[in-house]
Structure 1
Amino acid sequence: MIRKSTYAAARTVAPVIETHFAEQQADARLRGEENLAPAPPAKVIEALIDAAFWASLRKEEGQSPKISLAFLSPDQASKPLLFAYRLPLTSHNLTKLAPGVERPGIHLGVWMEKGELYLWGTTREILSFCFVLDVSEPGLLVVKHRRASGFGKFANVAVLKGDDIKIIDEHSDTLPDCPAVMTSLLGFTTPATWDDSVNVLVQLAVSMRAHGRGGTLLVVPAGSDKWQESVVRPMPYAITPAFSALADLMQQDKEDRSRSIWQGALRREIDGVAGLTAVDGATVISDQHELLAFGAKIIRSDGNELVEQIVVTEPVLGSEPVIVHPSNNGGTRHLSAAQFVHDNQDAIAMVASQDGRFTIFSWSPCEMMVHAHRVDTLLL
């Protein structure tokens, strides 16, 4: 039988996660979606989190494990790699297997039979809304699920770091001034309302965070040069004509976007643009995905006041908006991004810190000030 967990946070969060997956799958069935992954009960969620947490604190040949667990049966996986013998779900087994399954996209399959959880093999293909548990670093676990569309970053449900639990607030995207990229990151929209242009920004955010050097990406209206009043000119790395490889990909027919060749090309272009954000200064793209410049130095445009306060929110349950001076929200990148959006209210600024923190700055017409959305929990 499933043993009682010794990680207190697992017991606390399991019922909440159980409810989330049950509701998400019920909504998906009402929309007529099929081939959904099984929704795990709380006792299974608790056991998975407990085993993964203790495994995260172990080391194999001096390395901390990075693994991804997916709850589904072998029959529900596509082209699975099957172990000849089932392995009990233990922190010891997870640690031993970790070096061979740490590459992105590989999931260790977990299933339950006769009250026992076991590891049955690995898979790269999982069903929609499949429960996935990632071990990102020692003590840091992320519960997520595959999007119904099957492409792009998985939707995060909860983040656990030691005894700190953050449950994603699925209603954060209903704020009237919430930028569309937040709706996509939260992952609670249906495929029918999916915005492909926003999906690009999501993938850019993930890639920016992944290179670990920090950076700023400015998204400005296509066809307007007003934003240039907020950067030092001449720009050392201005692009003429605008580089349109990413834009060209997004203009292809939607039926082509399900093909692996197109998806691979999109990832390469996204990584190329995101890589430029590691250069000192800001990278600038249009809202039509054309690359306009990188290494741009942000300044306060003539006639505009210094930004004195911003509202900061985080899309997790229990988080309340706070109004702070922008210097209290981060370093130079955050301050300059807030000033840029203050001066260019039709733009968005995305800032990655070297420590993994990620903030999206947009103008809030309701608060009449810059809105800083802390989205670290959505990008893990």
Structure 2
Amino acid sequence: MLSEPTYLAARIVAPALAVHFAQHWAEVARLGSGIQPAPPTATLLEALIDVAFWASLRREEGRPPRISLALLDPTAASQPLLFSHRLRLTPQVLSKLAPAVEHPGIHLGVGYDEEGLYIWGTASQVPPVCFVLEVVEPGLLVVKHRRADGFGKFSNVAVLRGDQIRIVDEETQGLADYPTLQASLPAIPCRASEPGSVTVDVLLELARAMRAHGRGGLLLLVPPGSAAWRTSIVAPLGYPLAPAYNSIAALLASPDRTHRDWQQNLLDAIEIVGGFTAVDGATVLTRHYELLAFGAKVTRRAESTPVEQLVVTEPVIGRSAALVHPAKNGGTRHLAAAQFVHDQHEAVALVASQDGNFTVFSWSENMQLVHAHRIDVLLL
């Protein structure tokens, strides 16, 4: 029997999560993607989130737990590690097991029966649309599932931070009421692709690579074959490349995208570019993902005016667009990104903050404003 949950956010978010996973489960089952765990009920999800939240507040030898929980039967996992007997799912048990499963890609397998939730072992491979709950830090939980095509990271569904709940809007990216803003965004997918297809969400993977080093960074995507962006950069360039580093572009042009080596090589190339963003200054990339320079200093174009206002959005259900002054949207990197896009309408700027926030800046032609779209909810 499931114990009565006491984490209110779990009770609030569980019904919406149950609907989400049921819808995706039906899609994957229709397309025939092998064995899939049955979609979980709201009651089960509430109980699991409740235990994980209280476990996140505990410490084992002075360290908070970092755990990933996968709700599935061991028969649905690939080469699972099975415990000789089941362990009851409690905050104490999770905190005790956490040191053994902190390595990325390892999930504690959680099952359930008439007696409640239990831990049966670990899994490194889980099927698409399997409910995964990650304990990131004390009070911070992320609900996600593996992408159907198996490429890149998991797709985030919701983020819970204490009493704050953010559910990813994978259909309209939080812009249902703002079609002009939605049209101004570059391709930032929220929704996992269908089984059997291989999509390359390079922009999202670049964002993750930039965020991973934790130093903050600024990446400028400029039109290929144009030098207009140089009017917004202090001369001379800090670290220009000759020739441009084009590994990402070359891999994207490859006719064969199905083999695992291609996927890993592309991720490796993205990681290399993301690493350069840790250097002070801006990293400059063409829209075809050719690396031109790094360590560049952004400046206002001679004939331009300072940015006075921008519109801020987030791919979260229920959030509205807000008009703010650039100084209230972030620090110097955010100001530089907003000014660069204000002066270079064909460019896109990506900003990673040291605190984990991530913003994509683009130009809205219809509103004649810089559009700042916060996507950190997709990257946790």
Under a length normalisation based on structure 2, what TM-score does the superposition of the two structures give? 0.94
- State the AA in 2 paired with 1:187: R
Alpha-carbon distance in 2 for matches of 1:80, 1:279? 41
Alpha-carbon distance in 2 for matches of 1:71, 1:51? 13
Tell me the equivalent position of 2:274.
Answer: 274
User: 254, 257, 260: which one pairs with 2:256?
Assistant: 254
Bigger mean CA deviation after superposition, 360-369 or 322-331: 360-369
- State the AA in 2 paired with 1:339: Q
Q: Which runs of 5+ in 1 are unaligned?
A: none
How far is the alpha carbon of 1:188 from its aligned partner?
A: 4.7
How far is the alpha carbon of 1:253 from its aligned partner?
A: 3.0
1:113-147 deviation digits (Å, cap 9, x = unpaired): 23421111111111111111000000000001111
Q: Residue 334 of structure 2: SS of its match in structure 1?
A: helix
Tell me the equivalent position of 2:229.
Answer: 227
- State the AA in 1 paired with 2:209: S
Alpha-carbon distance in 1 for matches of 2:209, 2:37? 27
Contact 1:65 1:135 in 2 (8 A): yes
Tell me the equivalent position of 2:308.
Answer: 308
1:230-280 deviation digits (Å, cap 9, x = unpaired): 11111020111101122222222334x431x33333332222211111111
- State the AA in 2 paired with 1:96: K
Alpha-carbon distance in 2 for matches of 1:296, 1:61? 44
Contact 1:177 1:365 in 2 (8 A): no
How far is the alpha carbon of 1:30 from its aligned partner?
A: 4.2
Cα 1:123–1:193 change in 2 (3 A) is closer
What aligned pairs does 1:48-87 form with structure 2 within 5 A after superposition? 48-87=48-87
Tell me the equivalent position of 1:373.
Answer: 373
Tell me the equivalent position of 1:114.
Answer: 114
Tell me the equivalent position of 2:218.
Answer: 216
Contact 2:148 2:193 in 1 (8 A): no
Alpha-carbon distance in 2 for matches of 1:17, 1:188? 16
What aligned pairs does 1:73-222 form with structure 2 within 5 A after superposition? 73-173=73-173, 175=179, 176-182=182-188, 184=189, 186-190=190-194, 195-196=199-200, 199-222=201-224
Alpha-carbon distance in 2 for matches of 1:109, 1:159? 21
Alpha-carbon distance in 1 for matches of 2:286, 2:39? 40
Contact 2:105 2:124 in 1 (8 A): yes
1:341-380 deviation digits (Å, cap 9, x = unpaired): 1111111100000111110001112322111001111110
How far is the alpha carbon of 1:204 from its aligned partner?
A: 1.2
Q: Residue 213 of structure 1: SS of its match in structure 2?
A: coil
Cα 1:303–1:320 change in 2 (3 A) is same
Contact 1:71 1:130 in 2 (8 A): yes
Alpha-carbon distance in 1 for matches of 2:168, 2:245? 36
How far is the alpha carbon of 1:156 from its aligned partner?
A: 1.1
Q: Residue 224 of structure 1: SS of its match in structure 2?
A: coil
Alpha-carbon distance in 1 for matches of 2:153, 2:368? 32
Contact 1:35 1:128 in 2 (8 A): no
Paired residue total: 374
Contact 1:177 1:366 in 2 (8 A): no
Contact 1:237 1:293 in 2 (8 A): yes
Q: Residue 187 of structure 2: SS of its match in structure 1?
A: helix
Cα 1:359–1:192 change in 2 (3 A) is farther
Identity %: 54
Contact 2:149 2:199 in 1 (8 A): no
Contact 2:171 2:191 in 1 (8 A): no
- State the AA in 2 paired with 1:274: G
Alpha-carbon distance in 2 for matches of 1:33, 1:178? 34
* Structure number with higher helix proportion: 1
CA RMSD after TM alignment:
1.8
How far is the alpha carbon of 1:33 from its aligned partner?
A: 4.3
1:181-237 deviation digits (Å, cap 9, x = unpaired): 32x1x12554688752xx111111111111111000111122211111111111020
Q: Residue 207 of structure 1: SS of its match in structure 2?
A: helix
Contact 2:238 2:297 in 1 (8 A): no
